[in-house]
Amino acid sequence: MCEVFIYKDKRKVKAKKIKENEMTQVMRVKDKVTGDYLDIVDFNHMDKFFEDNKVIFKNRVGLNKEVRKYIDFSLK
């Protein structure tokens, strides 16, 4: 059981940890109230990973796709 603060909505969510990858600093939690899944990422760690692997983004859509790939790969 953990508590997650969502800045965009300015609310706290009580959630249960489902999966975690310590190496990539990615965690998937499930909201106790709504049943929604939330993926939590350490953006400093992810940004360093992209810089180290020379991943360059031309636009925001490319960034969103790479972030989704990073999360999905980390939680396999």
Each of the 76 residues of the chain gets a pLDDT tens digit; together they read 899 998 988 999 999 999 999 999 999 999 999 999 999 999 899 888 888 988 877 777 778 888 899 999 999 8
**Which pLDDT value is given to residue 54?**
84
CB 15 within 8 A of CB 31: yes
Domain count, the chain: 1
Closest residue by Cα to residue 71 from 14, 8, 19: 19
The reported pLDDT for the residue numbered 51 is 86
pLDDT at 50: 86
Q: Which domain range does residue 43 map to?
A: 2-74
Evaluate whether 16 touches 31 at the Cβ level (below 8 Å): no
pTM of the model: 0.78
Separation of alpha carbons 45 and 52, rounded Å: 11
